[in-house]
Amino acid sequence: MRSLIRIPVLDAQAVQIHLSPAPRQGSFPPGWRVDDLLSTGDGWWQIDLASLALSDGAYEYEFVVERNGHFERVADPYAEEITRFSGYRGVLHMRQGARVRPQFSWDHELPRGLPNNNELVIYELPMRWVDPGDDGYNRQIGLGTFDRATFEWLQQRLVPSGVNCIELLPVQDSADTLNWGYGTRFFFAPDFDMGQPFDLKLFVKRCHQQGIRVLMDLVINHARKCPLSKLAFDWFFLEDGSEEPDPNGDGRPSWGGDVFRYREQRGGAYHARNFHFDVAEFLIREYHVDGFRLDEFKGIDNYDFVQDFTDHAHRVSQDAFPGQPFLVIAEDSWRRSGITGNNHRGGRVVDSMWDFNFRDDVRRLASNTLWTKLGEPSRSARTRRLLSAHHAGFGDLAHRVAYCTSHDIEADDEQRLFDYFLDKLAGGERDGRLEPGLSRLALEQVHSALALTLTAAGIPMFLAGEEFADLHDTDRRNWRHKMSDPVDWTRADFPGHRELLSRVRELVELRTTHSALQRNEVEFFGFGGANRGFHPSFDENNGERLFAFCRAGGHPLGHSNQVIVVANCRDQQYPEVLVDWPWGYRPALREHGGHGQPLPYIEHGRAKLALDRFQVRVFSL
């Protein structure tokens, strides 16, 4: 029943709701309406708004909790909309005696339909980074809003890029005003500084109208300044992470907040689990989201809960939107691919996971720093694992998110691609100035990393701005500054960056349209011998870094509907490279993401082609 407000409150003698018509002007009104909530005797307190005969309109509201003669004002942890004035409060709407939500029309939401999980190219977007504000490029502080994202960035930047899925960093209200938002305060309300519920719904609708799915990043390991901590802390949170140690005996991380309680019941129920089930259902039904990315899976450390969350989200999605695709992704820094297989209680824990190994090795491969030690897998074995979901331990390409960069840019080896490659080329000594020769080479390495990401067997993902090689404009050694550094969209118009953007767009289009890239098969070719697909000296420390593979699409090599990749991951130019070429001469051969070189010369089952330094060339038939 929409008009029933129900909240958990422990050890209270009385709970009241204070209401004031909105919008409120200036100071607090002298006569807030005050009504008592009734205790249900099991730790919950409730009130039926329909019984209050409230006039039509919006109301600001909060609770006052009495404990042992002490009165504390607390906001509603289930508030769907909030306001800020000397603290945060919920906003509710009444019409004809009943609680309602502001009207929003989802008409004509899906004229194009939405891509399936195996067809996705994910664009990871910190909403705060969308817009730096009028002088943000000088201050390097992101101030993005749903409004600017919908009416400016979406059409100008995202749609032309060709990506078909956005993964939004947390957009629920957070105490983290200037960084990524991984400390949720109000789980049912959009962030106050980003916009209102209407604005977020419109953003999702506009994305769907362009055939773009929207995933939301959820922080369910912990909360920061959440009203639940004042109302019923013991039900929802741990006093200390050590109450739920991981297999190594370490306590669960708090990341500066309160850690949710998942292993033991309190008050006869798993209240934290149920809370997040409610959050998932609300976001699916009200905001039409197409999936979730679960932050800090390792820290949550509870397969049962996450599996139940995944199953619940899928049931809600199919009930609300039958036949539409849905996806739950985990960020597991312990790199356990088994969570995507049928390995827990007869099923998978999540649908997919970020592949940290891919992120690390694609950067190393594209910069020729993929070194191996005695007893470790060879360079070619790691490259096979990089490019093939099956070799990496995944049952399907949609079980892994193959990403080359993400918002996690704190460490030196996690920074933006352009910064990463520039540092490698400069030997770690870079004073911020861009030497033209190194810059051109680093741009080619960015292209190579993205080309491998977009042609490997996995769901490709990259961070906003990587498509044109954005750069850290703040101190790249200061993780706090990097967290608030917005995307510099003007850099997309710089020489070299503009050309890169055009090349990457071609590769994105190929990934979203070519059926072979949406299947699992990866075949290596081009170089014979025991290590097929790799130059004979590929595994030697000073050897060649030439290799070739094909996304075969379920057909034998040489079929007409395949994607062909020939790569040079070394700082050496090759005017001519000879590779075995089972396709013969095909007039339909086309290059994607190239820069004007001649197509391969094909004769007697072999192809002759040029490869620049650190170049990956991609062809299709």
Domains contained in the chain, CATH given: 4-100 (2.60.40.10), 520-620 (2.60.40)
Blockwise average pLDDT, block size 10, the chain, 621 residues: 92 97 72 94 97 96 97 98 92 97 97 95 89 57 79 90 97 83 94 95 98 98 98 98 93 95 98 99 99 96 98 99 98 94 96 97 97 93 97 96 91 87 84 78 98 99 97 74 79 96 99 99 96 97 98 97 98 98 96 98 97 99 95
Here the tokens at position 610 are: 């040029």
The whole-number pLDDT of residue 137 equals: 54
Query: What tokens does 123 get?
Result: 């664009």
The pLDDT value recorded for residue 480 is 66
392 DSSP 8-state letter: T
Q: What's the pTM value of the predicted model, to 2 decimals?
A: 0.96
- Is the omega angle on the peptide bond into residue 23 within 30 degrees of 0, that is, cis? yes
Residues 100-114: b if buried by 16+ CB within 10 A, e if exposed: eeeeeeeeeeeeeeb
DSSP state string for 138-153: HHT-----HHHIIIII
User: Residue 145's pLDDT is what?
Assistant: 87
> What pLDDT is recorded for position 181?
78
What per-residue confidence (pLDDT) applies to 433?
A: 65
DSSP string, 402-463: EES--S---SGGGS-HHHHHHHHHTTT---S---HHHHHHHHHHHHHHHHHHHHSSSEEEEE
